[in-house]
C-alpha cells in the first residue's frame, strides 16, 4: 500500500491515486497543495498570464439546465455589445499589455453570427498590430466555422466538457441531439483538427457528481491531451431547473475546497498545461483566485465586459466584479497576484507549454 507522500511524488497516476488525492484532508491536503505549487514552479515557473475577458453577448440557443443565461430563462435581459464596444475593450487590453483576450458569448451558429466573429477577429488583430492573442469561447460549432475563425486570427478555444460522464452530462442538459455528450466530444475533436490550442473544463460539486466522476474528468483531460483547463466550483442559480436539487449540494466552502484540490491534482497530472483560476472561486472566497494561483493555476481573466452588461451575464449567482470598471479590475488583480507571490507576464501570449511541445 502506497503512502500519501509516495502518491504525491509520482508523475503517473491511477484512478485510485487521483481519488486518494481528491479526498485528502488536513496534513495530507497540505502536502498535496505544497507539491502542486512545487511542480508548477519547476515546470512553468511563477508567471501568471492575463486573458482580458469580453462577454459580448448573453443570447444563447442552448438550454443547459444549470446555466443562468439558458434560452428558456425569461428573466434575463438579453444584450449584444456593439463591435465598437468589443473593440474598445480589446484596445484597453492591448494598451495595458494584457497579452491576450477571450471573446465569450452564448452559443449561436447563424451565418450572421459566424461572419461577425470572423470580422471582429480580423479587426482585433488589426488594432493590436497582431500582438493580442485571441481565445474564443462561443460554444459548439462545426469544423468549417472553427477553421474560418482560426484563419481570421483566433488560436485558442475554450469549450468545457462540463462532465466526462455521459450519464451525469445528461442530467445537466435537455435530452436531445442538440445537447448531446457526443456532439460536445465531436466539437472538441474538431477544434484540435482546426489547429487550436484546446481548452476544456468541468464544474466541481454538482448535484449527482461523485469523487470518481471528478477523477474520471482528470483522466479525460489527459486522454484528450488538453492544452488548457478552466474549472471551478458549481454555484447554483435559482432561475435554472438544476436548482431543484440545491439541497443535495455540498456546502459552498466544501465545493471551493474540492475545486482547489482539483486544480492541485491536475497540476501534478499534467504539469505543463495552462490552468485558469476560475472567477467562480472568488464568488465563494474573496481570495479564491489567488489561492488557486499559489497551488497550480497560472491564468487569470480580468473582466473587460462593458460594466452596463455584466449583471446580465450571470451564469451563476453572486458573480464577483459586476460593477468594477476595467481599470479598477486590473489594479485590483495586480495587487492580488502580487500578494499571491506571483509575477504577471505582461505583453505575453502565455501559450500552453504543453501545446508547444
In tens, the pLDDT along 69-84 reads 999 999 999 999 999 9
In this model, does residue 322 exceed pLDDT 70?
no
Average pLDDT of the residues of the chain = 95
Give per-residue pLDDT as tens, 93-108.
999 999 999 999 999 9
Q: In this structure, are residues 169 and 163 in contact, taking their beta carbons and an 8 Å threshold?
A: yes
**Long-range residue pairs from 75-79, CB within 8 A, at least 24 positions apart, any chain:** 75/239, 76/239, 76/312, 77/312, 78/312, 79/309, 79/312
Residue 313 confidence class, pLDDT cut points 50, 70, 90: confident
Q: In this structure, are residues 182 and 226 in contact, taking their beta carbons and an 8 Å threshold?
A: no
Query: How far, rounded to the nearest angstrom, does the alpha carbon of residue 158 sit from its chain's CA centroid?
Result: 7
Give per-residue pLDDT as tens, 330-339.
778 788 888 8
What is the pLDDT, as a whole number, of residue 325?
A: 72
Number of H helices, E strands in the chain: 15, 11
Give per-residue pLDDT as tens, 126-181.
999 999 999 999 999 999 999 999 999 999 999 999 999 999 999 999 999 999 99
b/e per residue 201-210 (b: at least 16 CB within 10 A): bbbbbbbebe
Q: Which three cell numbers stand for residue 15?
A: 484512478
Residue 314 confidence class, pLDDT cut points 50, 70, 90: confident
Q: In this structure, are residues 196 and 157 in contact, taking their beta carbons and an 8 Å threshold?
A: yes
User: In percent, how much of the chain has pLDDT > 70?
Assistant: 98
Q: Is the pTM of this model over 0.85?
A: yes
Q: Which three cell numbers stand for residue 75?
A: 428573466
Give per-residue pLDDT as tens, 190-202.
999 999 999 999 9
User: In percent, how much of the chain has pLDDT > 90?
Assistant: 88
What Rg value do the Cα atoms of the chain yield, rounded? 19
DSSP state of 251: P
324 to 87, 183, 245, 302: CA distances (angstroms): 19, 37, 32, 10
Give per-residue pLDDT as tens, 18-70.
999 999 999 999 999 999 999 999 999 999 999 999 999 999 999 999 999 99
Q: Which three cell numbers stand for residue 254?
A: 466544501
What is the pLDDT, as a whole number, of residue 122?
A: 99
**Of the candidates 297, 321, 253, the residue with the CA atom closest to the CA atom of residue 55:** 321
Q: In this structure, are residues 228 and 274 in contact, taking their beta carbons and an 8 Å threshold?
A: yes
In this model, does residue 3 exceed pLDDT 70?
yes
Q: In this structure, are residues 206 and 236 in contact, taking their beta carbons and an 8 Å threshold?
A: no
What is the pLDDT, as a whole number, of residue 58?
A: 97
36 φ/ψ angles, rounded to the nearest 5 degrees: -65, -40
In this model, does residue 320 exceed pLDDT 90?
no
What is the pLDDT, as a whole number, of residue 298?
A: 97
CB-CB neighbours of 2 under 10 Å: 12
- The highest-level CATH class for domain 43-356 is alpha beta
- Which secondary structure element, helix H or strand E, spans residue 54, and what is its range? strand 52-57
Amino acid at each position: 500500500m502506497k503512502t500519501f507522500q509516495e502518491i504525491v511524488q509520482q508523475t503517473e497516476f491511477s484512478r485510485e491515486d487521483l481519488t486518494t488525492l481528491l479526498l485528502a484532508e488536513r496534513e495530507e491536503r497540505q502536502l498535496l497543495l505544497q507539491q502542486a505549487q512545487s511542480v508548477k514552479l519547476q515546470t512553468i515557473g511563477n508567471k501568471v498570464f492575463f486573458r482580458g475577458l469580453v462577454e459580448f453577448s448573453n443570447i444563447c440557443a442552448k438550454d443547459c439546465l444549470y446555466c443562468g443565461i439558458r434560452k428558456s430563462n425569461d428573466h434575463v435581459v438579453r444584450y449584444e455589445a456593439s463591435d465598437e464596444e468589443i473593440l474598445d475593450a480589446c484596445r484597453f487590453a492591448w494598451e495595458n499589455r494584457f497579452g491576450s483576450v477571450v471573446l465569450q458569448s452564448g452559443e449561436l451558429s447563424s451565418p450572421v453570427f459566424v461572419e461577425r466573429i470572423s470580422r471582429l477577429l480580423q479587426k482585433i488583430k488589426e488594432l493590436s498590430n497582431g500582438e493580442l492573442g485571441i481565445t474564443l469561447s462561443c460554444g459548439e460549432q462545426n469544423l468549417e466555422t472553427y477553421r474560418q475563425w482560426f484563419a481570421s486570427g483566433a488560436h485558442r478555444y475554450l469549450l468545457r466538457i462540463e462532465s466526462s460522464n455521459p450519464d451525469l452530462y445528461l442530467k445537466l442538459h435537455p435530452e436531445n441531439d442538440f445537447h448531446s455528450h457526443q456532439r460536445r466530444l465531436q466539437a472538441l475533436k474538431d477544434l484540435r483538427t482546426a489547429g487550436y490550442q484546446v481548452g476544456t473544463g468541468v464544474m466541481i460539486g454538482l448535484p449527482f457528481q461523485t469523487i470518481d466522476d471528478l477523477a474520471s474528468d482528470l483522466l479525460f483531460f489527459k486522454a484528450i491531451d488538453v492544452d488548457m483547463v478552466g474549472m471551478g466550483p458549481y454555484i447554483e442559480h435559482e432561475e435554472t431547473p438544476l436548482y431543484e436539487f440545491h439541497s443535495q449540494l455540498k456546502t459552498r466552502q466544501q465545493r471551493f475546497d474540492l475545486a482547489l484540490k482539483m486544480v492541485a491534482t491536475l497540476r501534478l497530472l499534467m504539469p505543463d498545461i495552462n490552468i485558469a483560476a476560475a472567477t467562480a472561486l472568488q464568488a465563494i472566497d474573496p481570495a479564491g483566485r489567488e489561492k488557486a494561483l499559489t497551488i497550480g493555476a497560472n491564468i487569470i481573466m480580468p473582466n473587460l465586459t462593458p460594466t452596463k452588461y455584466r449583471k446580465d451575464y450571470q451564469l451563476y449567482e453572486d458573480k464577483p466584479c459586476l460593477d468594477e470598471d476595467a481599470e479598477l479590475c486590473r489594479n485590483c488583480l495586480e495587487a492580488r497576484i502580487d500578494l499571491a507571490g506571483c509575477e504577471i507576464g505582461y505583453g505575453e501570449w502565455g501559450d500552453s507549454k504543453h501545446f508547444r511541445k
